[in-house]
């Protein structure tokens, strides 16, 4: 990713595809822990999209 904004846009796109709310504007990753959570979420959503994992319960 070239920027945090581009990363959040990608996470929001994956969230929309799953019928979930986007990351609120102004709530971009401001600390390492929140950023790690979004990275993990993006990886899991990408894996589900490609058929690698079952949808979260």
| pTM > 0.75 | no
Cα distance between residue 9 and residue 11, in whole Å:
6
pLDDT at 56 over 60: no
The larger pLDDT score, comparing residue 50 to residue 20, is at 20
Token look-up 């971009």 returns: 28
CB 53 within 8 A of CB 44: yes
The model's confidence at residue 57, banded by pLDDT at 50, 70 and 90, is very low
Cα distance between residue 2 and residue 19, in whole Å:
26
CB 40 within 8 A of CB 25: no
- Confidence at residue 38, expressed as pLDDT on a 0 to 100 scale: 87
Condensed to tens digits (0 to 9), the pLDDT of residues 4-41 reads 788 888 889 988 988 999 988 766 667 788 888 888 98
């Amino acid at each position: 990713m070239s920027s945090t904004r581009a990363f959040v846009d990608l996470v929001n796109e994956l969230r929309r595809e799953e019928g979930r709310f986007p990351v609120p504007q102004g709530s971009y990753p401001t600390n390492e822990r929140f950023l790690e959570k979004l990275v993990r979420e993006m990886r899991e959503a990408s894996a589900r999209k490609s058929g690698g994992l079952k949808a979260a319960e």
